[in-house]
Copies of this chain bind each other. A is one copy, B any other.
């Protein structure tokens, strides 16, 4: 099928025709002509009952194909409806890494039950994959690769691959020694076009020979694909022996997932919430951050409380609390976001940390100067009082420059103490900057006004 620019409306049409199909035969006929990836895509936006109606019109083979694309709630929906024996038979049909990926999201009881119902060989494979920690290369890899000895000739290699009837695309033949140690990668087209007397050892492509050990974090693996522009990477164990391979289609899912995770963390929520249909569950995910933020901003309240005497003397000062708080918070968010993102993309090394900090300090000072002057002018025009203008301008300058510098330092500190820097952006940094901005403002106001009042 051709993907056109009006893809969304095409999907909506398909959804409509699926939902308005009157008989199950009509439904099956439409589904027969639809790519399994499109079915998965559509199922995602339907209600539970609609999902079930469509799934019942699918062949088992198609259910097996769409399952890895779906969220954990969908698996539980099918488990409730079809029962564990049927689901175990579907899991048996999946590649071990995809089965493990789905099963890792289940609770221990359902996991044990399904493992016991699966074929012995398949469940052993899944158990092995599940031994690797989540989000590592070991957990991501599939054992579905093609490896041969370096002395193999291209003809022998082709003979072997033919006999193996490999269904998945494999891109490379991995060359190993007699102990299964990984030596190098040969792109499949090189084998195809090699002279008959050559050997795999000779055909190894050094530029594309990149491997990754089982413990490497999946985010690092993704960056490796980005950097070396390769369609697959072999995974080796601690002794350099070939253990599996990761293909680029899994990596694309990882990149989307990790990016979403960062974005959600910035806003103080979680990836899980997208999968959840329950408002209670969503509220439970968001509340810890909101309550933290309430407590943090009560701290701002305490600062205000401390300066109540100043404020009651000059109530006009209260009107400018929001602008000091909001601008400080936003400046901090900007520099923090840039820093967190650069760290996530691997663009920060110990070599350029100081130049980053120094650049941010300069930027912060410029921003503070412009915002401070702007506010000073506005305050003077609005209130016709030069002293309020000066207090505000100075406070804004201090708050903005302090915030933008904090915004770059906090993610670094978080990383040092092993907290995900993405957590630093959003609510955390904003709340902290609120307190700092307010304190500066009210402190300056108290000092300067004591000379005026």
Task: Give the interface of A toward B (CB within 8 A).
Answer: 1-5, 7-8, 11-12, 15-16, 35-38, 40-41, 44-47, 69, 158, 161-162, 166, 169-171, 182, 187-189, 192-193, 207, 209-213, 215-217, 220-222, 224-231, 236, 240, 248-249, 251-253, 255-256, 259-260, 262-264, 266-269, 273-274, 277, 279-280, 282-283, 286-287, 289-291, 293-294, 296-298, 300-302, 304-305, 308, 311-312, 315-316, 318-323, 325-327, 329-331, 333-334, 336-338, 341-342, 345-352, 355, 359, 362-363, 366-367, 370-371, 374-375, 378, 382, 400, 425-427, 430-431, 434, 438
Given contact pairs A5-B217, A286-B363, a sample of 4 additional A-B residue pairs in the complex whose CB atoms are under 8 Å apart: A2-B182, A266-B266, A294-B371, A308-B315
Whether B11 pairs with A349 at a CB distance below 8 angstroms is yes
Q: Which 4 A-B pairs have the closest CB atoms?
A: A300-B322, A279-B362, A267-B337, A229-B249
Q: A207 and B35: CB pair below 8 A?
A: yes
Are A41 and B302 closer than 8 Å at their CB atoms?
no
Cβ 8 A contact of A169, one of B35, B158, B231, B273 = B231
The answer for the CA separation of A341 and B263 in the assembled complex, in Å, is: 8
Q: Do A367 and B213 contact each other (CB < 8 Å), given the known contacts A169-B231, A226-B252, A322-B434?
A: no
Contact assessment for A330 and B289 in the assembled complex, using a CB-CB cutoff below 8 Å: yes
Across-interface contacts of A5 in B (CB, < 8 A): 213, 215-217, 220
- Looking at the complex, which one of B166, B248, B362 makes contact with A189 (CB distance below 8 Å)? B166
Specify which chain B residues have a CB less than 8 angstroms from the CB of A329 in the assembled complex.
430
Determine the distance from Cα of A438 to Cα of B195 in the docked complex, in whole angstroms: 78
A255 (CB) vs chain B CBs: closest residue: B255
A–B Cβ pairs within 8 angstroms, 28 of them: A2-B240, A5-B215, A5-B216, A5-B220, A7-B216, A12-B349, A69-B227, A158-B192, A225-B249, A252-B252, A252-B255, A264-B338, A267-B338, A274-B341, A282-B359, A282-B363, A287-B370, A293-B327, A297-B323, A298-B322, A298-B323, A301-B320, A308-B316, A308-B318, A318-B318, A322-B434, A326-B430, A330-B430
**Inter-chain contacts of A262 with B (CB < 8 A):** 263
Q: For residue A161, which residues in chain B have a CB less than 8 angstroms away from its CB?
A: 189, 192-193
Q: What chain B residues lie within 8 Å of A192 (beta carbons)?
A: 158, 161, 188, 192
Contact B220 A3 (CB under 8 A): yes
Cβ contact within 8 Å between B216 and A231: no
Given contacts A8-B349, A348-B45, A231 and B171 within 8 Å (CB-CB): yes
Asked if B171 and A169 sit within 8 Å, CB to CB, the answer is yes
Q: Which residues from chain B contact A40 at a C-beta distance below 8 Å?
A: 227
Who on chain B is nearest to A404 by CB? Answer: B286
CB pair A211 B264 closer than 8 Å: no
**A327 nearest in chain B by CB position:** B294
CA distance A248 to B190 in the complex (A): 20
A330 and B171 contact, Cβ closer than 8 Å, known pairs A162-B193, A337-B267: no
Inter-chain contacts of A171 with B (CB < 8 A): 169, 171, 231
Contacts A264-B341, A319-B304 known; A227 to B37 CB distance under 8 Å? Answer: yes
Instruction: Give the chain B neighbours of A188 by CB distance below 8 A.
Output: 188-189, 192
Complex: A156 Cα to B1 Cα, angstroms: 27
When chains A and B are docked, how far (Å) is the Cα of A333 from the Cα of B268? 9
Q: Which residues of B contact A349 (CB under 8 A)?
A: 8, 11-12, 15, 45
Q: How far is the CB of A280 from chain B (nearest CB, A)?
A: 6
Q: Is the beta-carbon distance between B240 and A248 smaller than 8 angstroms? A: no
Q: How far is the CB of A174 from chain B (nearest CB, A)?
A: 13
Report B-chain residues with C-beta under 8 Å of the C-beta of A207: 35-36
